[in-house]
Chain A
């Protein structure tokens, strides 16, 4: 039977990876997006370009540098070893680090665009109504930027599910540890196990289409800022 031969481990691993990556990206990406949307510092250009790099770089380039940096001889590798954490490549934590960097622009850019579209006015109004900076951020900026956050979550999650090159290089495709959906499909095809490959590839196709449908169907998400 197909189901008995079906190995669910890569599916769960992929979902865990995408969830962890999306959550971390929201924590890291939101302040970064806020800063990019509001700063007038000269650093805005270079930082914005660095955030966008994963959009154009071959994933192998990112994976290569991550291996070098996080490996036993790399600067981060030295640090993690000194802290008693071992090295990150070929572990789940390593996959998460790689995925966070790889999906960064997909989370930062929609949130940044939403913050930029707000303009100053709603925040100024909130300030005249006694709201301090944090208060303004959480009660005005974030709720008004909600469509941007939804887009960021969907794209960040889906893009992490769909990555291949980075996870192959930094994860090593170790069954049960770092083998995710995309690399499993690759294995099946290499081994000429087309049935299994079909199941997984078809599932991915369906998943990706449904996710993108959620983004492209016009709905209540597209609300303006302060009217």
Chain B
């Protein structure tokens, strides 16, 4: 019975939430959609901050709400952590007392996240005796995240935790969020409308529109489903999870391996076997029918055309399969015609650049 399963509906004035959710009980699941698509309402219903009448919610085998059986666990009995958009620290308590607030309210035996561990994980050890009023926005949000973690939640809900921050603070917090993902085995539901954040953090994704959950699946699939808006537009691209396979000392390159081949990037300061996530934008992939030995492009992956969709009269978007890993390529309609590309054809995908997501 692992996984998070929810059927939650709610009417708030003109807005109707009608969500059906079945997502894995581990890793980071992004609730993605435009503002007003119901992401936050859904998260609040899952927390129990709003009551969805007739709803159903089970988290890794535990039923939190089932109105047919008359079950509704009040918020303070749900083993969850909630990080709001604004840090919402208690202004009458020091950072330390803020952190202790939830920590001392759970039984000692249930404390799986240690006080020092959480402070270290979020890098706030130096701030413990300060008042929240004397913290920067980024520091406040890190304290709020640590405070939520210290209740040893079995589900962590994060409502656009970076949205209220400036760019620098965002950059400051993202690495900490990645560490959460890597170091702790707490499943996270992460509300976001930023494709970049999602590409960096999420393993699984739920797409929301007008209060409905319209599609869900592993992040690799969702970013490349040509029937969904994510696979279109300038930011369209895939994420690829790789490990460092080799360092080329002579040319200062690192080879990152994945099931569909390998990609070379500028040398990385990590040991062999270190996991790295890449983002490959569709605009940076071009196609050739033969492997050119005389090209300056280093990263050429054998692939097969799966699907071709016209984006506009000038351009088409192709979904490729590179050894089980989906890729997107955006090329001109003219090139597509000249190469006579068809689904099923074998091609070589030339990757002009990749973005390292850490």
Contact = CB atoms under 8 A, between A and B. Distances in A.
A121 to B, nearest CB: 5
Interface residues of B, number: 27
A130 B76 contact: yes
A227 B86 CA distance: 8
Classify the interface of chain A: helix, strand, loop or mixed.
Answer: helix
Interface in B77-94: 77, 80-82, 84, 86-92
Contacts of B49: 124, 127-128
B151 A130 contact: yes
B228 interface: no
A143 interface: yes
A122 B101 CA distance: 12
Interface string B60-77: 000000000000001111
Contact of B90 (A125, A127, A128, A146): A125
A127 B88 contact: no
Nearest to A139: B101
B105 A144 contact: no
Given A121-B84, A227-B132, A227-B133, A129 B151 contact: yes
A155 B172 CA distance: 48
B315 to A, nearest CB: 46
Contacts of B163: none
B102 A130 contact: yes
A225 B91 contact: yes
B82 A128 contact: yes
A212 interface: no
Interface in A125-158: 125-132, 135-136, 139-140, 143-144, 146
A140 to B, nearest CB: 6
Contacts of B80: 128
B44 to A, nearest CB: 9
B118 to A, nearest CB: 13
Contact of A128 (B47, B89, B92): B47
Contacts of A140: 90
A80 B204 CA distance: 70
Given A121-B88, A131-B105, 12 more contacts: A125-B82, A125-B84, A127-B49, A128-B80, A128-B81, A128-B148, A130-B151, A132-B74, A132-B76, A135-B76, A135-B105, A226-B91
